[in-house]
Structure 1
Amino acid sequence: MRRLPRRRSGHHRPTTPHHRRVRLSPADLLRLGLVGIRTRRMRAALSALGISIGIATMIVVTGIPASSQRALNADLTALGTDRLQAVADRTSGDETVSFPPESLAMVRRIGPVRAVTGVANTHAVVRRSDREGALEASGMTVLAAQSNLLGVINAKMRSGRYLSSATGRIPTVVLGSVAAARVGIPDLRPGDPPPLVLINDRWFSVIGILRSVPLAPDIDRSVLVGWEAAHSMLGFDRRPTQLFLRADESAVEDVHAVLPATINPQSPSEVRVSRPSDALAAKRSTEATFSGLFIGLAGVALLVGGIGVANTMVISVLERRREIGLRRALGANRGQIRGQFLTESIALSGLGGLAGVALGVLGTIGYAAYRGWPPVVPLPAVTSGLGGAVLVGVIAGVYPAVRASRLSPTAALASA
């Protein structure tokens, strides 16, 4: 009688389709991870709210000070933090020295200099009419000025227009704010014929009046004549007595050091250069202060937001052990359980981060508009906030997901 072959152990049975491990595609994993968010929309919204508040806080506490700093920087720049003034110093007598005619061109060659202009005292006499005496005793001076003066000294027109390349060649003048009051011309009305002033023995039409110029108070008491008109009509020799320039803030001190020798190489001691504005030092101090404040506030807000994210993710995963046990009983393996909850954690954190970014940006823009500041939304705060939310969500979801995936179906169902 033939002996039948002994059946081998069940450990070596051929694998049937029922025992094959099923791998989920990224799209399937994403749909599976979003099931909890779609089925528990209110809980998901409340969970994302905690994340979004933390991220919005981080953006707001960095965006609002940045907007404030930009507004402060603009105000300090308007005070002349990037401007210098060079004046021809007086000799032992009353005679005023002047700069060489090529001094303007020489200053323009300095690399950090962005703009330069010059004025010159023509020593002309101003009168309101030919029946009145000279007004020079009132402290007014007649200055030859170039067409780019307004932009360099940050001056504005109160009425009328400034000297252009065309009007600067004909007998026209622009009055400073104080000079306009002293000659009795407080304003210019559109459509009316321009008033006249007598300079030496020639009439000049008044085409504009300046506002007060804080950066150059001498301009307020001046009567400005075009550079070419002063040369042809007042005997001006094209030698400036005062220069105004605008340079890069970071190089103002360097320009200050080389300016005397550049303007007048033969007699640099006759050039008196105003030192950089005290506002420049104040501006750099506020920049350093705000930089440290940004780092501190951003760190605190990110820490608070991270704690909220971790707490939300841990509770969200632990409260769903019944679902974990049911899926395990239906054949889901540990990797699928981990993947599902990690995907849900990342998606929930990402949605909360996006909502927080939107809230933070809108809050920053709204508050800046209310205060009249230029809105500034720091890009590093946005990217780090969104990336930090996702990263913290991943870290917070790893431990609960791994712990839940290790539970047996019966233990998971029993603990629910």
Structure 2
Amino acid sequence: MRIRAGRAGRAARARGIGRPWMDSRDLWTEALAGVLARPMRSALTTLGTVLGITTLVITIGVSATAGNQIVGRFDALTATSVTVVVPASADAVPIVDWSGVDAVRRLAGVDSVAAIADSTDTASVQVRANDVVAPGDVSGQTMAVVAGSPALPAAVRGRMTAGRFFDDGNIARHDRVAVLGDQAARLLGITSVQDSPAVFLKGQAYTVIGILGEAEREQQLSTAVILPPTTAEEQVGLGVVTRVLINTALGAAQQVAHQAPIALAPGSEDALAVTAPPDPAKARKGVQGDVNGLFLVLGLVSLVVGAIGIANVTLVTVMERIGEIGLRRALGASRRQIAGQFLVESTTIGLLGGVIGAALGMVVVVAVSAVRDWTPVLDVRLALGAPVAGAVVGLLAGLYPSLRASRMEPVDALRA
């Protein structure tokens, strides 16, 4: 019977029946009919690809949008901060004096600038909220004592939670006043400055005129006592500037970092160490690359799950249509045509899943951005490439079932 079927096939092909049996239009028609013959099964199979493509689009779109927000916050905070570290001078004349910050303030792109003086000698000083020593009571708290210029709250991006910061008048008069960090004030039990509370350090009383809180830079100031430069030099020996804090406009940090040492110490600028933020463009690329790489793996895993679903259902379909395959082979259909029909069916399912998944993914990205008040970042290449990716997944998933269908012998298939 196998010989008769083979002769029948050769005779049919000799009469012109073999190759013209299915042209490209017939191939797509048969594939679409196979997909629509079992609409519920095809819908569930397509759902796997839809979920995979949707997850892929959502993860890439949301990660790109989140990366853009992360970099935006980096630009607003870190990318505008410049710090100049002043080393100790071997000479009696300091490298940078307190008036040097005025020269930096005049530079283009500088929003605020302040100088700080600290030392290891004043890093741990006993500070008390009153001058009465009671037996059994804690005599005080160990805190750092620093000196700062009047623009320090703006330079550290902080705000006064009580009272005010000292001004040029306090500095000129050498007033013994102090500003406490919020944690220092809490440790000393000072919550208000209305009654002019005092703190005592090294046997001297200082009137607390303000409390500094919520500093984004130099957070160690929250546990410090801040004195005017002139008072700090006279009372605790803090007269040399050790750091200059600069806040710049967005995009001006690199230029200011180059010009600030020259403005602070003309002729000795090489002795200063400048800490400037990295290029925001490189940071943006790095952040987005890391986030995209992480979520891309999750999307690909979902896509592989969808591909396995297509392969499984296509293989089941082949097993159910053995008789149809045998009949087509007996009528002259080639192995290539049988394989092509099932490949087109699986590719069609993948393509439909890619189109639907891309649309749903874009909608979800826009919805998430709207809820979070973000600016959605949508890549046109992703929207156009998602259907292609779905079609490729369907094509690859249908390779094994289509090869198995094409290897069936007409007699065995008809007998089954």
The bucket for the TM-score relative to the shorter chain is 0.5 to 0.7
Percent identity among equivalent residues? 32
Deviations 1:241-261 (A, max 9, x none): 997534659x85x97366423
| Partner residue in 1 for 2:235 | none
Aligned counterpart for 2:31 among listed residues 27, 30, 33: 33
Change (3 A) 1:362 1:118: closer
1:72 partnered with 2:70: yes
Superposed CA RMSD in Å reads 5.3
Task: Supply the AA of the counterpart residue of 1:349.
Answer: G
Q: Is 2:339–2:403's contact at 8 Å kept on the other side of the alignment?
A: yes
TM-score (structure 2 length as normaliser): 0.53
Q: Given that residues 107 and 256 in structure 2 are in contact (C-alpha distance below 8 angstroms), is that contact kept between their aligned partners in structure 1?
A: no
Q: In 2, distance between residues paired with 1:305 and 1:14? A: 40
Cα deviation for residue 38 of structure 1 reads 3.3
Matches within 5 A, 1:54-65: 54-65=52-63
SS for the counterpart of 1:22 is helix
Cα distance change, pair 23–256 in 1 and its aligned pair in 2 (3 A): farther
Deviation of 1:48 (Å): 0.8
In structure 2, what is the equivalent of residue 96 of structure 1? Answer: 99
How is 1:5-24 mapped onto 2 (pairs within 5 angstroms)?
17-19=15-17, 21-22=19-20, 24=22
Check 1:383–1:247 CA distance in 2 against 1; reply closer, same or farther (3 A cut): same
Pairing of 1:307-346 with structure 2 (within 5 A):
307-346=308-347
Instruction: Please give the alpha-carbon distance, in whole angstroms, between the structure 2 residues aligned to 1:214 and 1:57.
Output: 40
Q: CA deviation at 1:80?
A: 3.6
**Maintained 8 Å contact 1:54/1:304:** yes
Q: CA deviation at 1:101?
A: 10
Offset, 1:52:
1.0
Q: Is the 8 A contact 2:98 2:149 kept in 1?
A: no
What whole-Å deviation, never above 9, does each CA across 1:225-271 have from its counterpart, x for those lacking one?
xxxxxxxxxxxxxxxx997534659x85x973664237765453798
Deviation of the 1:351 alpha carbon: 0.8
TM-score using structure 1 length: 0.53
CA distance in 1 between counterparts of 2:389 and 2:413 reads 31
* Alpha-carbon distance in 2 for matches of 1:286, 1:18: 63
C-alpha change, 1:335 and 1:49, in structure 2 (3 Å) is: same
Q: Where in structure 2 are there 5+ consecutive unaligned residues?
A: 1-9, 88-92, 115-147, 165-212, 219-243
Q: Deviations over 1:23-69 (max 9, x none)?
A: 64433332232221233333322221121112222223333343333
Instruction: Give the whole-Å Cα distance in 1 for the aligned partners of 2:298 and 2:395.
Output: 24
Alignment of 1:9-408 (within 5 A): 17-19=15-17, 21-22=19-20, 24-84=22-82, 96-97=99-100, 104=107, 116-117=109-110, 244-246=247-249, 252=254, 256=257, 259-261=260-262, 265-268=266-269, 275-276=276-277, 290-377=291-378, 385-408=386-409
CA distance in 2, matches of 1:312, 1:356: 19
Tell me which amino acid in the other structure corresponds to 2:297.
G
- Given the superposition, is the C-alpha separation of residues 51 and 242 from structure 1 closer, same or farther in structure 2, using an over 3 Å criterion? closer
* CA drift at 1:81: 2.1
Does the 8 A contact of 1:84 with 1:246 survive in 2? no
Figure out how many residues of one structure are paired with residues of the other and give that number: 295
Alignment partners' CA distance in 2, 1:284 and 1:334: 50
Code of the residue aligned with 2:370 in structure 1: it is: A
Q: Which amino acid aligns with 2:30?
A: L
SS at match of 1:81: helix
Counterpart of 1:132?
none
Distance 1:414 1:102 in 2: 93
Structure 1 residue 85, shift from structure 2 partner: 6.8
Give CA-to-partner distance per residue, 1:371-397, whole Å, 9 cap, x none. 333333466765665444322322222
Question: Offset at 1:18?
Answer: 4.8
In structure 2, how many angstroms separate the alpha carbons of the residues matched to 1:74 and 1:40? 50
In structure 2, C-alpha distance between the alignment counterparts of 1:100 and 1:405, rounded to whole Å: 83
Secondary structure of the structure 2 residue equivalent to 1:332: coil
Partner of 2:133: none
8 Å contact kept, 2:111–2:249:
no
